[in-house]
Amino acid sequence: MKKVGIVGAGITPCKSRWVERTYYGLSQMAVKECMKDAAMSIKDVDAVVFGIYNDIFEMSAIPEHPLQGIIGLTNKPGMRVTNGGATGAYAMLAAYTWVASGLYDKVLVLGVEKATDCFDFESMTETPEVIKTIGWSGDTFFERELGWTASDSYAEVVLGYMDSYPNDLKPAVSAKIAEILCAQAKHNEFAQRRDETVTAEMAFNSRYVVYPFKLLEMCVYTEGAGAVLFASEETTRAICKNSGKAPIWISGVGASNEHSVAGPDYRRHKDMGRIWSDHISSHKAYEMAGVKDPVKDIQVVELHDAFVKQLQITMGEMGFVPVGQTDALVEEGIMTPGGKVLVNPSGGLTFGGHFVGGSNIFSTWSARREMLSRGFKRGLVHGTGSTVSQYGVAMVFEQD
């Protein structure tokens, strides 16, 4: 396997609705920014992997096909990846393998999603139709018709965790994390909720959307695009020398998809009280990167926080705190300002934005930015997705 580096990244502003752009235009914007960041021409890119989650959002069964030409990659290989919420992370995993295998030298990853073109003509608002559209992601034989939604699906997992660990996930802790994420989003000029101020008290008192998820402790719907460029070691050094930016290496990758049907043994079915996909994927990535203790070895984490309580469980599964004691993230100052690990400096998906196909690319853009600006040695990016947090991907980034 060849060493793979990240040589450029660019994102669009995250907005609840882009009336001014289709996903074609958003894609061009992100790719342009990425190439500008890498200080190179798209003509020198060898291949592209597209991350687009939901055909219905884009209103096309092959939504990537019009993008190939308009991003300047005519006659070059392009492949779409779709893996629920983890689409962006899986797209990056695919691009990583293309470069690491030696098949291609410079591979672009483009994640893009529209969402709020969907519109419910009964309530005359977007949200119910967006939820309905995502609802087609549930099991269509046994679950969707029971009213499956993404939020109640993740709530199932969190409630299962709370059955096992009733003293963890205290409401005050989740509310404090929401406050931290909100404050961090103010330093991200592309964050969707940059102008909002949410205090722990406001989050604590916000209404339930589905128990135990409160309105100010869950992600938003976003339209936007993000792009990152991967290259082989020699090429990475050459590009970075030209751009003046330090190389960020992908030193560990891991992925895991759990069973979708619940049962008592996680090796055979879904253990509803755990997120084993996060545990397995992160520990695979650690093993590859030589990470022994994530709290000591990793300085910045950009994790897929669809819901704040899921962020806590994921941090437990990834070994930053013990599973069942994730309130330590706040109570022991692990992720509070000045704490041991910087978690979601972008504001995360909760306050930064969640354009599903590209959200993990947004996270990568942020983690790389923090590593370059603060000189962090290691970073971690995580993606989760599908029903009952079935899919998990983790990538460890490293700086020389």
Confirm or reject binding of residue 196 to another protein (CB under 8 A). no
Nearer to another protein, 153 or 251 (CB): 153
At its nearest, how many Å lie between another protein and the CB of residue 271? Answer: 10
At its nearest, how many Å lie between another protein and the CB of residue 43? Answer: 31
Confirm or reject binding of residue 143 to another protein (CB under 8 A). yes
Confirm or reject binding of residue 56 to another protein (CB under 8 A). yes
**Where do we find the tokens 């093993």?**
287
Question: What is the C-alpha separation between 112 and 136, in angstroms, rounded?
Answer: 19
At its nearest, how many Å lie between another protein and the CB of residue 28? Answer: 17
Confirm or reject binding of residue 62 to another protein (CB under 8 A). no
What character string, x for contact with another protein (CB under 8 A) and - otherwise, covers 199-238?
Answer: --------xxxxxx--------------------------
Nearer to another protein, 194 or 245 (CB): 194
Question: What is the C-alpha separation between 13 and 191, in angstroms, rounded?
Answer: 7
Confirm or reject binding of residue 175 to another protein (CB under 8 A). no
Span near another protein by CB under 8 A; candidates 44-52, 93-101, 119-127, 223-231 = 119-127
Widest Cα–Cα separation across the chain:
57
Question: What is the C-alpha separation between 389 and 54, in angstroms, rounded?
Answer: 17
132, 187, 241, 296: residue in contact with another protein (rule CB under 8 A): 132
H-type helices in the chain, by residue range? 23-38, 55-58, 67-70, 87-100, 127-135, 150-164, 171-185, 200-205, 233-243, 276-289, 294-297, 308-317, 328-331, 348-351, 359-374
> Are the beta carbons of 392 and 382 closer than 8 angstroms?
yes
90, 148, 165, 391: residue in contact with another protein (rule CB under 8 A): 148
Binding residues among 246-305 for another protein as defined by CB under 8 A = 261-264, 268-269, 272-273
Q: Which residues pair with 398 in a beta bridge?
A: 249, 378
At its nearest, how many Å lie between another protein and the CB of residue 243? Answer: 32
**N- to C-terminal Cα separation, the chain:** 19
